Amino acid sequence: MQQELRLRSLEKDDLEFLHKLYNDPNVMDYWFAESHYSYQLIKNQFENNLESTEHREFILCSNEERIGFVGIFSISQRHRNAEFAIMIDPNHQGNGYAITATRLAMDYAFNVLNLHKLFLYTDKINEKAIHIYEKAGFRFEGELPEHAFVNGRYHDLITMSVFQRDYRQRF
């Protein structure tokens, strides 16, 4: 049985956990980024984003245990849209946490930030992620051929999105 999950704001005490995720190639390959982040770089990014209105960063928790990281990035006040991204600690993958975390992020994006649209990018071959996003209500928008360079080759990405009106009808 899945424990109750919640999102809470990213705090300075979470940076070691984030450092661990950011240095795991199995996690970062899906973020289309290198897996070589120093703790100092992560700390600097955290401090630079403290007063940002363009980002919301959360830790996914079960009780006080850290399960993953959720981000709502590039928030546009004018266009009322933002990018969604998620990382689940490999020790907690396969437990259904990603779908719950995605829905919690959607709830925040549409009911707190009053966004019109939430979008994401994922690797075209990442069938697990695509299934999770579709289950949460995201729909395919388009394909970006050879858009990300990871592990020595280019990957095709797809964009997916969900609109506030569709979220409200569904949930």
Catalytic center residues: 133
- Contact of 89 with 67, CB cutoff 8 Å: yes
Residue 131 and residue 2: Cα distance in Å, rounded?
A: 19
Terminal alpha carbon distance of the chain:
22
- Contact of 31 with 88, CB cutoff 8 Å: no
The CB density around residue 161, as the number of other CB atoms within 10 Å, is 19
- Contact of 127 with 163, CB cutoff 8 Å: no
